[in-house]
Structure formats: C-alpha cells, structure tokens
Amino acid sequence: MSKQLNLTLSIWRQENAASRGRFETYQAKGIPDDASFLEMLDIVNEGLISEGELPIEFPHDCREGICGTCGVMIDGRAHGPELGTATCQLHMRKYNDGDTIVIEPWRATAFPVIRDLVVDRSPLDAIIQAGGYISAPTGTAPDANEIAVPKEVADSAMDAAACIGCGACVAACPNSAAQLFTSAKLWHLNSLPQGQPERFKRAEAMVETMEQFFGSCTNHGECTEACPKEIPQDFIAYLNRDFVKSKRVNRTMASRS
Amino acid sequence: MAAPTAANQGHTSSADRPLRATPRSLPFPFSLYQTSVGKKWVMAITGLMLIGFVVVHMIGNLKLYLGVIELDGVSDYDVDHYAHALRELLVPLVPHGVVLWIMRLGLIAGFGLHIHSAYSLSRSNMVANQAYESKRDWLAANFASRSMRYTGVIVLLYLIFHLADLTWGRADWFEHGEVQSNVVNSLSNPLVALIYILANIAVAIHIYHGMYSMFQSLGINNPSYNWLRQGAARSLAIIILIGNISFPLAVLANIIEFDPSLITAGY
Ligand code: FES
C-alpha cells in the first residue's frame, strides 16, 4: 500500500496573456505517494471539475521526459527539486505529508503566459527555424558508418542532442538567456561532419535570432542546474567561439559569391 | 502575424514579437559589437586588460613597504622612484610622460568599452527578464555573479574618488608626484581608509566573477582545465584583496610612513 499525502498547493492562475494572474491555494488530499507530480495535478483537477470549476492548465504531453512540453517552476526551481529531472518525471514520494508546494509558470518576456501554467515558447522554435537543420543536398542516404565520426565527437553531439527544448534554462536564468538551449542545438549539428557545410551560417543565424528574444549569458550557471538533461555550459563557450568566428567567415564567404 | 480570432482569444505567437529589432548591419568588426555575444567578448577582453592593470598597480604599490632608497644619487621613497621611472619610460625615444599617457589612454578606452557593454547588456537583460512572484531557490548563481552590476557601479565611483584623491588632488596636503607623502596623508584619515577597504572588497568580488566568466565568454573552454577556473579566479581575487587592503591598514598601523627629513630634494 502506498502512503497518502495531504498537501497545500499555491498555484498561479491566469485567464490569458492580457489578464493579471494570482496565486490560488488548493488543498490536495489523499495523494498517493507513487503518483507523479503531473498525476497529482490531474487529481486536483478532477476535484475542481467535479465542483464545476475550471481545471488548472499545465503543459504536458509525453510524461516520460522526452518531449519537453512539461515544465513549471516548483518552489523556486525549474522542474522542481530533483536535479536532471523533467517535471513529468518528478514523483510525489519526494514530498512529505503536510508539505506546501508553490507552482508558478516559466517567466520570461518572450514566454508570455497563455493560461495558468502554460506559456508560449514559440521563440525557441524561431531559433530552430533559423538554422537548426541541415539543408545542403546530400544525395541518397549513405551506408551506415560510411561517414566516420570520432567516438568523442559522437558522444558530445549526442549529449547536445539530449536537449528536449523545454525552456527550463531560460526560466532559470536571471537574464532569461536562451544560451544553453541554442548552444545545445548548435553544437549538436556543428560538431558533426554532416553539419560542417552550413556551420557558420547556422551559428550566425541561430544566435542572432536568439538575441531578438532573449537576454545574454552572464555565467551564473543556473541553466545547467535546471536542465532535465544536464546539458553542460561548455556548449555555451562553443557557441561563443563559433559565433565570433562566423562573423569573420561569413564575411569572407560573402566576398566570394 | 495571425489575426486574433474568437478561437485563439486574441493570442498570437510570441515568436512574432521580437524584443529587439535587428539593427542596421555595420561593417565588421562593429557588426560583432552589435550582438550580445560580441559585447560579452569585448567585456571579457577589456576586463582582462583592467585586471592586468589592477595587478600591476598593486605590485607597484608594494613598493610603499620598501621605504627610502638611494638611486642615482637621489634619496627618495622607492615608490617615488618608481613613479618617476614610469614617466621616463622609453625616454629619450619619446618625450617625458608620453608612454604613461599612451597606457592611460588604453585604460580609459578599456574602461569606456567595459562600461558601455555592461550597460547595454544589462538593459537588454532587464527587458528580457520577468521576475518570479514566488521565491527563487538559487542553485548555482552566487553573490558575486548576482551583484556584478552593483559591484561594477561601486568600482566606478571608487575609481573617481581615488583619482580625485591621489591623482588630481582633493586637499591642500596634495603634492603632485609625491606618492609616498600623498598616500600617507590620505590614508591616515580612518574614514578614507575605510572607503578604500570597502571599495577594494567590491573590486575583489567583481574580479572573482569576471575572471571566472572570462574564458567562457571568449569561448576558450577545454574540459581538461575547467576544474581550475573557479580556484584560479578565487585565488586571484584573494591575492588582490589582501594586497590592496594592506595599504590602508599599514598606514593606519604606521607601518607605511612618510618622513620628509629622509629624502633629498626630489625629481
Ligand atoms: S511531458 Fe514530455 S518531457 Fe515532460
């Protein structure tokens, strides 16, 4: 038999981007401790619906830590108290009976609240659209292992590719900078052979799009702590390097065309 | 941009609303300075320059401890010999004082760029950020990283005070070029000594996070020496702190003194 928890929740409610939000207090009674954090919110919502009230909107989709849809500020930490864990992978067994939990949406000027805990993260999509792809014609699919990639490079690209784009790095950053997200997306492609032809175009386009929406990095390091995939800040240094180089390289390229 | 409809309740994508317009593109390298990453680069390079200055300045000041020595038949405080030598750098290739002024102009330019990039980045960060209504639980940000704006302003105010105090001369005891006597006259006032001590604590805190950030901003990052960064930044900040606050303390404790009878007519 699992234990049952009685919790006090302080949750941000807001009708839409234009309206003013406020914290509402809810009593969550008899929450099984093997429920996930989002299942706990489901239970609270069922209670609200049965009382004829509007349920609390919160972002979620896969609920297995791979899609990047979930993400809220829990007691002042992005994705809650467990390091390297997305909100959907957080479980109520980490809490004690009688705890108070404060839940707030991600905050950044580029992430306006859509409703309650759901924010609009489309500027992250704009960054991907600026260069997070490979468009050079590559012909038919090459045979497996035809393009040799050193193991270390493949590992580091894979670490970067682990980013699920949840936006916790922006949410945790005192400057609302999207450096960790952008650098992960950039390094994923820029470190691999297939990414080389467009490397510097990509660096310039993605960073400049990022800067239209987000602040800049002052090396606090909150992003890595918040990241459910624990993306290292080393990638931010690689972004800085590739971007500055891109300004020079792209200028040379332009003079050749 | 999608027109508001009843279905989307007037909601348009926030990707349609950049916080910053793309500026008219200037030629390289100015185009770099138009971006935040480029400004961070400038901040790191000028920061390195300014740290270099602070370290050399502190080492020069250590001469205050050496007292009077005789050089070329002139008996004077060692720090005054040093101040004189600074003005004579590369003489007779260039006139008296010129090299010192070139270094000063470099520092003024470095300070100007450092302050301008800091101001401009802070402004855009403030626009991009929205404060949380609930209490944040910081995991990695520390006092130094979160107070850079404030320690930076303190350092600037202190710099102006310090120039007025010991370069331009704010009181009648000031005598141009007489370093030992000016330092002792200024710092023997406990209130002034306290200003110097507090300001140098801010300098050390600012340098600690600056030194730690610099390599990251410049994209110089190698996982094999990253473990050194924190310790190196902390050691440098502590060395600068100890060196610099030792001067006011030593004057108050009469370890650094000025006795006009010990020197022959100066330069
Ligand atoms: S819901 Fe998909 S990552 Fe959490």
Instruction: Give the least confident one: A245-254, B99-108, B243-252.
Output: A245-254
Helix (H) or strand (E) holding A181: helix A179-190
Backbone torsions φ then ψ of B185, nearest 5 degrees: -60, -40
Same domain, A100 and A215: no
CB proximity A217 to B under 8 Å: yes
Ligand 1: lining residues by beta carbon, under 6 Å: A 60-63, 65-70, 86-88, 164
Which one has a higher pLDDT value, B115 or B3? B115
pLDDT tens digits, chain A, 257 residues: what are they? 578 999 999 999 999 999 999 999 999 999 999 999 999 999 999 999 999 999 999 999 999 999 999 999 999 999 999 999 999 999 999 999 999 999 999 999 999 999 999 999 999 999 999 999 888 777 788 888 888 999 999 999 999 999 999 999 999 999 999 999 999 999 999 999 989 999 999 999 999 999 999 999 999 999 999 999 999 999 999 999 999 999 889 888 888 87
Residue of B nearest to A101 (CA): B134
Banded pLDDT at B267 (limits 50, 70, 90)? low
Instruction: Report the number of distinct structural domains present in chain A.
Output: 2
Computed over every residue of chain B, the mean pLDDT equals 91
Atom from ligand 1 closest to the CA of residue A89: 4
Give me the residues of B, 110-129, that contact A with CB < 8 A: 121, 124-125, 127-129
Same domain, A85 and A153: no
Same domain, A139 and A224: yes
Cβ(A38)–Cβ(A69) under 8 Å?
A: no
Beta bridge partners of A104: A73
Same domain, A53 and A68: yes
Model confidence at B7: pLDDT above 50 = no
Distance of CA A29 to CAs A12, A97, A104, A229, Å? Answer: 19, 10, 20, 32
Banded pLDDT at B74 (limits 50, 70, 90)? confident
Same domain, A146 and A216: yes
**pLDDT number for residue B5:** 45
CB proximity A45 to B under 8 Å: no
pLDDT digits (tens, 9 = 90+) for B12-56: 789 988 988 777 788 888 888 999 999 999 999 999 999 999 999
Paired tokens of B236: 């440098």
Same domain, A125 and A231: yes
Model confidence at B10: pLDDT above 70 = no
Same domain, A201 and A98: no
**DSSP symbol at B214:** H
d(CA A55, CA A72): 16
**pLDDT number for residue B218:** 92
Reduced to 3 states (helix: H, G, I; strand: E, B; else coil), residue A36 is strand
**CATH number of the CATH domain containing A174:** 1.10.1060.10
Thinking of the domain B38-128+145-258, which architecture would CATH place it in?
A: Up-down Bundle (1.20)
Reduced to 3 states (helix: H, G, I; strand: E, B; else coil), residue A13 is strand
The residues spanned by each domain of chain B are 38-128+145-258
Which one has a higher pLDDT value, B7 or B55? B55
Cβ(A18)–Cβ(A45) under 8 Å?
A: no
Residue after which a domain boundary falls, among A115, A138, A160: A115
CB proximity B224 to A under 8 Å: no
Model confidence at B150: pLDDT above 80 = yes
Cβ(A61)–Cβ(A165) under 8 Å?
A: no
Name the pTM for this structure.
Answer: 0.91
Same domain, A145 and A212: yes
Mean pLDDT across the stretch B111-117? 97
Banded pLDDT at B92 (limits 50, 70, 90)? confident
Residue after which a domain boundary falls, among A53, A88, A115: A115
> The complex's ipTM?
0.90
Paired tokens of B257: 């003194």
Cβ(A89)–Cβ(A75) under 8 Å?
A: no
d(CA B100, CA B102): 5
CB proximity A26 to B under 8 Å: no
**DSSP symbol at B16:** G
Give contacts of A213 with chain B, Cβ < 8 Å: 14-15, 18-20, 128
**CATH number of the CATH domain containing A110:** 3.10.20.30
pLDDT digits (tens, 9 = 90+) for B178-204: 999 999 999 999 999 999 999 999 999
Residue after which a domain boundary falls, among A82, A115, A148: A115
Same domain, A214 and A243: yes
Same domain, A145 and A251: yes
Beta bridge partners of A215: A177
Residue whose C-alpha is closest to residue A106's, from A178, A207, A27: A178
Residue whose C-alpha is closest to residue B248's, from B180, B205, B201, B186: B186
Cβ(B242)–Cβ(B200) under 8 Å?
A: no
Q: Smallest Cβ distance to A23: which of B121, B133, B217?
A: B133
CA dihedral angle for residue A214, residue A216, residue A217, residue A218, rounded to 10 degrees: -130
CA dihedral over A38, A40, A43, A47, signed as positive or negative: negative
Same domain, A70 and A90: yes
**pLDDT number for residue B221:** 84
- Dist. CA A47 → ligand 1 center (Å): 23
Helix (H) or strand (E) holding B115: helix B98-128
**pLDDT number for residue B3:** 46
d(CA A205, CA A211): 10
Q: Is A148 exposed, middle or buried (0-12, 13-18, 19+ CB in 10 A)?
A: exposed
Atom from ligand 1 closest to the CA of residue A164: 3
**pLDDT number for residue B249:** 97
Which range of residues forms the domain containing residue A73? 4-115
**pLDDT number for residue A75:** 97
Model confidence at B1: pLDDT above 50 = no
- Dist. CA B18 → ligand 1 center (Å): 27
Single-letter amino acid, residue A105? P
Same domain, A84 and A150: no
Q: How far is CA B184 from the centre of its chain?
A: 23
Contact B125 A208 (CB under 8 A): no
Residue whose C-alpha is closest to residue B211's, from B227, B228, B234, B242: B234
Give contacts of B37 with chain A, Cβ < 8 Å: 207, 211, 216, 239-240, 243-244
Model confidence at B232: pLDDT above 90 = yes
